[in-house]
Structure 1
Amino acid sequence: MSEGRSPELPASRTEPDGSAVVRVLSYNIRSMRDDTDALARVIRACDPDLALIQEAPRFFRWRKAVARLARASGLVAVTGGATATGPLVLSSLRVHVERAEDVLLPRTPGLHRRGFATAVVRVGGARLSVVSCHLSLQARERYDQGGMLLDRLAAMGEPYAVVGGDLNDRPHGRTFRRLADELQDAWVARPWGGEYTSTPHDPHQRIDAIFTTPGVEVLGCGVPHGLPGITPHDLRAATDHLPVLAALKVPASA
């Protein structure tokens, strides 16, 4: 993976027909245990409308930590954190939140309980279901959670949706393929920037991804490099994953 400058990703905008270009970031932040100043710089440089976070703080004073991250990143907290066992949704003020809900998944004895942070939002004239997820390290449980994720999207009842998450699976894995069979893998649809998200010091695998429903047009998706305001050191220091950034064109809702 090159650390050179990525070509420019489309900026957020609302079209005359009500459709919207929405920038979406998916990022595992390892409970803010690393360089939080670098983390905030990375998020701000990505300039997302929606930041779908995994491993948000979830223990002592976690709400204050989430509020501090949102403020430093120029965003606001929408839903998630400890109440979703780690997944979190942040947004810019451009985003109108219509509803939000944290979903806890069935607990497997001996394994960390997982959950989804979910919301339905409107940007311009476009309405979008949003899910942040962090799937299991255990293959069978992870596969079942992939099915629960697809079921959750269907239950949200919106034609357009975006999912961002740490899948703990690679593109050839059963769970990754299960999601890619039903949704668009945004990196495959329109690759931009870098591919591999783990680890920042030795990027060699893609286990973090953004997916959309087929009606959403992907204008670019990948690991951002060379954005103004951040350095390769920031990307390595912020957390133990690299971020995934996408620009999506969402049709206006009927």
Structure 2
Amino acid sequence: MRVATYNVRGLKDSVPALVRVITAMRADVLCVQEAPRLLYWRARRRSLAEAAGLRTAAGGRLGGVAVFVAPRVRVLHAEHHVLKIFLGLEIRGVAIAVVECDGTRLAVASLHLDLDAGARARHAAEAMTLLERAAARFGAVPVIGGDINEQSDAPAWRYLAGRLHDAYGHAPVGDGMTFTAREPRKRIDALFTGPGLDVLGCGGVAAAREDLVAATDHLPVVAELAATGS
């Protein structure tokens, strides 16, 4: 199965290019950050998902996060939470979808952490607690996809990688850089996977460079996963 994460920058750039990039991912599950959250936000998310052959599985307006899934994926449960609000900072949220694909259950969270280090640390821990609760309830493997807004040597990233596996760190494909799309020099977007999944490969997507640059300011991360022992 293929799980991906992508910050789509509120569809402020070329939507046709964005659709082509998402289609090229061939993702079974896609974690979206900066999904539309203002006027007609539900319809705009649905339109984006459907244009790429997906459907919306989870996500509320506040926080701008969502989970899209492919037609073959069964959605068992969905929830959305607003994370602790910090005065003067953006409202952050986590979207969680419990899904079944190829006989494997995943609890997948889409997360967009703040630019403020303290908020990032608090929200990472809060989201992990919510995800682990959903995963335990449904007997699913936890997975987080998100824009972490820091690199792998920073506290929130280290916390997430300490509870789950940094997919790219386990099976890297390419240089892993995700920001900016035009001049990628930082790895701030990631997928973290729980025990019970083997990471066969994790990296970018084989899409046209002009589409990657035109679609948004981040590059996507895509992981090929398999149930351990399958």
Identity %: 42
1:145-178 Cα offsets, whole Å, 9 max, x none, are 1111221122111351211000011000011011
Distance 2:10 2:175 in 1: 24
Distance 1:81 1:202 in 2: 31
- Cα contact 1:164–1:209 (8 A) shared by 2: yes
SS of match in other structure, 1:140: helix
Residues 194, 72 of structure 1: alpha-carbon distance in 2 compared, 3 angstrom cutoff: farther
1:39 equivalent to 2:42? Answer no
- Cα contact 2:76–2:97 (8 A) shared by 1: yes
Residue 215 (structure 1) shift: 2.0
Give the gaps of 5 or more residues in structure 2: none
- Cα contact 2:6–2:31 (8 A) shared by 1: yes
Distance 1:36 1:129 in 2: 28
2:82 corresponding residue in structure 1: 104
2:44 corresponding residue in structure 1: 65
1:239 equivalent to 2:216? Answer yes
Instruction: Name the TM-score, length of structure 1 as normaliser.
Output: 0.86
SS of match in other structure, 1:112: coil
1:201 equivalent to 2:182? Answer yes
Higher relative contact order (CA 8 A, sep 6+): 1
Give the gaps of 5 or more residues in structure 1: 1-21
The amino acid across from 2:152 in the alignment is P
- Cα contact 1:195–1:223 (8 A) shared by 2: yes
- Cα contact 2:5–2:30 (8 A) shared by 1: yes
Distance 2:181 2:98 in 1: 31
1:108-129 Cα offsets, whole Å, 9 max, x none, are 1111110000011111321111
Residue 251 (structure 1) shift: 4.9
* Runs of 4+ that moved beyond 3 A: none
Alignment RMSD, CA only? 1.5
How many pairs are equivalent?
Answer: 227
SS of match in other structure, 2:223: strand
